[in-house]
Structure 1
Amino acid sequence: MTTVAASQSVNIGIKKLGEYVNDAYRLNIEAHNSELECRATISVDDADNSISPTELISILSKNEITTAIDLEQIAVFCSEAAEGKNLENFLLASGSEPIHGEDGWFELIVATGKEKTDLEVDAFGRVDFKSVQSFSNVTPGQQIGNIYPPTEGTPGKTITGKPVPSKPGKPNRVIAGTGVRISDDGTQAIAEKAGRTIFENNVLSIAEELVINGNVDLSVGHISFNGFVDIKGDVLDDFNISATKGINITGAVGVCQITSDGPVTLGTMAGMGTGKITCKGSLQARYLNQVTVECRGDVNISHELRNAVIKATGSINIPKGMAIGGELIALEGIEAKILGARSGAKTSVTSGIYFPETDQLQNLQRRLKSLVDQIKTISSTLAALRKKPPCNQSKALREAIELRIGVLTQRQINLDADREEVAEELLGFAVNEHPTANPKINILDAMKEGVSVKLGETTEEINNEISGPISIIENPEMGGFSYLTYSPLKVGAESLEEVVG
């Protein structure tokens, strides 16, 4: 069988590398995308004598395409051709695009404020902020940022290994404004007075006072503040608030991400299932609907929780309100006037659990399951490939199958290693002792039928409405729960177990 290579020609947007014709097939090899891709088109007349991976790799090598070859694509291409399929513009090799140099940039090592409108500073250096994204306290002489030069970039490569030049980055033009100076070597920004840092239109300056009188909306943007944020109005959908010392929002919050290293106080929040509050202090609110909360302290709700997921390392308290639907998880106890409803979404409550540990454990379990599923899929594919009778296969198809088996086997080895690592981490996972753990639930008025309760090792669904005031703890001796005369959450479940025992 003779293969004839046609002369090369150039089409619009495509460089033709060669045409190879014989009795079994007609093959066209082309360079696409500025020679960053090699693509092939084949018309098969005799599947039994179709092109093999070795032949195809040889043709590509003659066109100086070697290191860019994708072996798995070669295997798939030859497999499809060996089954008599005609293929068009099939990707066989890929170069690499150039990575252009990064522009010079300014790194703030304190929290910043970025406003969309000009700031007005009075004679005393006070600023009325109506547009804030982030904010920081600084002291005189403190370094507040680094100035980095641009980089040259990294050239790319065509499918034949020819370099593709990259573009160098542009220098950053940070400007020192009020209260800021640039070091003599041009690499640092230094504060010259106490206050909070603002970065706007490449001008870095220091202001001494923050006031937000209106809503957080398009005129304000996201807020990230290294201190306490006090918002007098509402926070509209899709505007996120982050602070290190605490957040107070007088009005209503929409579908937002509220993050604080301190306490959070707000009026109401309707999260639509994606809104989230993360705080390392206590949380106080009147009403939360479809909100996820992760709180490293106590959660206090004055009116209602509806279809919310509340996780607290302290206690969850709704003494004058109700929780309907969703999930409540607390380390130090849960107290509510009403839990659940006769109809609607199911309500689940768990007390005595430190949620960061359980979340970590569940994440490891999910990762392990994903790895096991991937390994199972590859094993099934390998088994199917190895069952195909070699005697009835053409040389090209046999070679393509062997190549695919090799690629999948290596992938399976890598996944097995990841699986062993995660399994070992799971095996060594241990739950710590938490002295403040209080697996106890207080009901002041009623717990409705259908509420799922977990205390310690016991999980039960309430079959009949329970009237309060009452305290519920686990009864490890008799099984199930003990329903006791109401006592405050500060009276721990452990001391009540001793009384019951």
Structure 2
Amino acid sequence: MSDIVFGSEKEGFLLEILSEGVFLTIYVPKENSPFFKDVTLLCALLKKHGIKNYKITDLLKTIQEHSGVRSEIVAPEAAQEKVIPVPVIDISKDKMEAVISFSGDDGEFQYDRDYIMELLADKNITYGIDKALIDEFVKVPSCSQVIAQGKIAKNGENAYIKKYIDFSQKGRPSSGNYGKVNYKDMNLCFLVAKGDPLAERIPQTKGENGMNIMGQEIICRPGKPIPLTKGKNTEIIDENLLIAAIDGQAIEEGNRITVDPKLEISSDVDVSTGNINFNGSVFIKGNVQDGFSVRADGDVHIGGTVSGGTVEARNIYIEGGILGMRRGKIYAREDIRTNFIENADITAERDIYIADVALHSEINAGRKIIIKDRRGQVVGGHSTAGVLIDVKILGNFMDIVTKVEVGVNPIINKKYRLITDSIGNDKKQLKNIKNALNMLGTGEKLSAERQEKFARLKRMQFPLAGKLEREEAELKEISGQLKSMDNAKIRVSDKVNPGVKIIVAKFLYTVQTEAQHCSFSADVKRECVSLNPY
């Protein structure tokens, strides 16, 4: 074997492969120069030149001593004998993982954890070292093992908008019990109240930096922001929450959500729309078909007719007319205005205005019924108003029974009874509370239980007294409305046909012969209905 020499004093080691043996010198490091520790390099050089029969412990001992003394590590006769393999550490290209392996048999493994830690240090591996996995490898070296692993950088998540309304369900029928589809509830509008949450911005996150096994930081990518856009009639609170500023319907317009206090429907209210239940005002260009309903907290304006449908709102305007078909009902908390009604049941807490005719219908108005445009005629049915009925014609030439009544307001009468009953109950309860307080005394020198009872009664007393005061004020107002009905009258600018029944207050008058340009009022002294000029 030819002589070969590796290294130098400057490199910190000298490996001599000679015919008389193999020698290793580990020099004492000079000032500012590192210790030589790379046993893996020495093993690789020996293996490359067929030097197998050496003891790894001899190598380690020479390296640890750094004496600068030339040491024989392989005798001449053993230079070509088998050498014990050493563990090898492979580092992944991204420096995120270190894998240790051993090519020899388990019985040839002569290393411990400290040795492997030195190997890691030689390769500048400082982060993510798992000593438990190193111990596992030491026990079973024939199995390769990941003994160091970096921390993957976690990129930040982008901000996104979380919507509290599923606008994709618009126009789709809702599902009821047992999965049944309700085609009268088509989710045509999404109703919201003031203060309801509409959308929320979930902010972006910064992410978390990672680290490779060499201890080098891996910078993460932060999430991207997204704006929370404010739509009409909405507000942003706490920077990330969009709420409704008013009652109405929520509408999605691109990346905005707006709240509209009115609902516009360009078609009929039928199976394509389902029933309408809205907390604002509703504008319908078409008709309300049989069996469908429109309910609104605001006003309802219908461009066509109501055919057997139900409408409830504050004010109701029906341009076409009302075909009740003896099923539909119209109810307004204030006024109703329409062109005609037939076989309908309509009620307004204030006034009803009909442009043309009212045929065979139940009409109830808290104050006035006015039918004076065009024909201005009432035929059949029962019309009731609190203060005034003013029409052109009552009945027709066929003497169809037509009943008209004033001086009665069922809605006001019902309110009067309810408030009167409530006032009586509240006065009784307030009296009982005062009696109980008087029995308990001033609240001094009472047991804890009686003191608690005394305080509870005191808390009940003042809200109840306030409620009673409000009820008495409302009763006074209603009493004034009832008093105004004393002067109720029916006015007919053209004629009254025979067969018409006139009721003023509690007095009845049946028209036997045609009367023209007249009015009817109550004659309290004579206890009858008085026929007067228009």
TM-score (norm 2): 0.43
Q: Which has the higher contact order (CA 8 A, sep 6+)?
A: 1
Select the structure that is richer in strand.
1
